[in-house]
């Protein structure tokens, strides 16, 4: 049966791959974007099947987060799966090592990162879950976390902290929403070859994994599709490492 799927940050990279994977199995997808409208249009146009929609909005704004969830709920005739992928990612522009940035920039980057990566995801999760509960329908929430939550992000500490908190949020919601038939899980990808980081992939990065390469968006998408399936209900609360053995944790 076709499901309604909301993918945040689906204009490029992992989000686009996730949207494509759900559409390929016949689901209806709401492609969310923050500011890359043109890229999101490309994602939408390439999706197989029918019933897909475009939804824009800044997740850092609580009212926009609610509007995103409500718009997708109406347009898809119900959101059954939420994938929290949108994030302020690591980049030269968002780097903030303690010894090198001003206190003002430290504050600005921390605030923006947490508002999008953690609070924005929490707000959309709340709104989607409330719709599911009101409909009496089972659902799935899958968070896109990061290896950096465990391995550390010395130049991007706000990013690492936000992803660790996102993992913890997922586990808390997994317990609270299970009685309503809503399963919540997370994936923690390692370095993944997307358009945004293509110029950063070198032999040193590939060597972090014993496979001698970095991950692909399609590999992350395949894991998300599984965790959103009925067969993965018992995985509620899990955090799945997807890093090619580049970082192993207890």
Active-site option among 33, 125, 162, 163:
163
Sign of the Cα pseudo-torsion (11, 16, 18, 19, in order): positive
**Which string of b and e fits 193-205 if b means at least 16 CB within 10 Å?**
bbeebeeeeeeeb
Identify whether 91 is a catalytic site residue.
Answer: no
53: left (phi over 0), alpha (psi -120 to 50) or beta: beta
Active-site option among 11, 33, 125, 146:
146
CA distance 116 to 120: 5
Identify whether 226 is a catalytic site residue.
Answer: no
> What's the DSSP call for residue 124?
H
**Measured CA angle at 27 (ends 18, 127), to 5 deg:** 75
Identify whether 159 is a catalytic site residue.
Answer: yes
Structure tokens belonging to residue 172: 């808390």
Give the residue carrying structure tokens 């504050």: 107
CA 145 vs CA 110, 172, 238: distances in Å: 17, 15, 12
CA distance 54 to 41: 7
CA distance 70 to 48: 24
Active-site option among 159, 162, 186, 246:
159
Q: List active site positions.
A: 146, 159, 163
């Amino acid at each position: 049966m076709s499901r309604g799927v909301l993918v945040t940050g689906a204009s490029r990279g992992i989000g686009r791959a996730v949207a494509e994977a759900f559409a390929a199995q016949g689901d209806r997808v709401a492609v969310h974007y923050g500011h890359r409208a043109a890229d999101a249009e490309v994602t939408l146009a390439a999706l197989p099947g029918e019933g897909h929609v475009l939804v824009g909005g800044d997740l850092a704004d609580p009212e926009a987060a609610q509007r995103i969830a409500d718009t997708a709920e109406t347009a898809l005739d119900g959101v059954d799966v939420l994938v929290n992928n949108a994030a302020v990612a690591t980049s030269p522009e968002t780097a903030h090592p303690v010894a090198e940035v001003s206190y003002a920039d430290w504050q600005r980057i921390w605030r923006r990162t947490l508002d999008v990566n953690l609070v924005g995801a929490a707000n959309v999760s709340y709104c989607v879950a409330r719709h599911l509960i009101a409909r009496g329908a089972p659902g799935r929430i899958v968070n896109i976390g990061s290896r950096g939550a465990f391995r550390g992000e010395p130049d991007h500490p706000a990013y690492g902290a936000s992803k660790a908190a996102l993992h913890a949020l997922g586990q808390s919601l997994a317990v609270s929403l299970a009685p309503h038939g809503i399963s919540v899980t997370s994936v923690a990808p390692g370095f993944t070859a997307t358009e945004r980081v293509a110029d950063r992939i070198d032999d040193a990065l590939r060597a972090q994994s014993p496979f001698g390469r970095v991950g692909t968006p399609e590999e992350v998408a395949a894991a998300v599709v599984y965790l959103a399936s009925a067969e993965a209900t018992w995985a509620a609360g899990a955090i799945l490492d997807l890093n090619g053995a580049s970082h192993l944790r207890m």
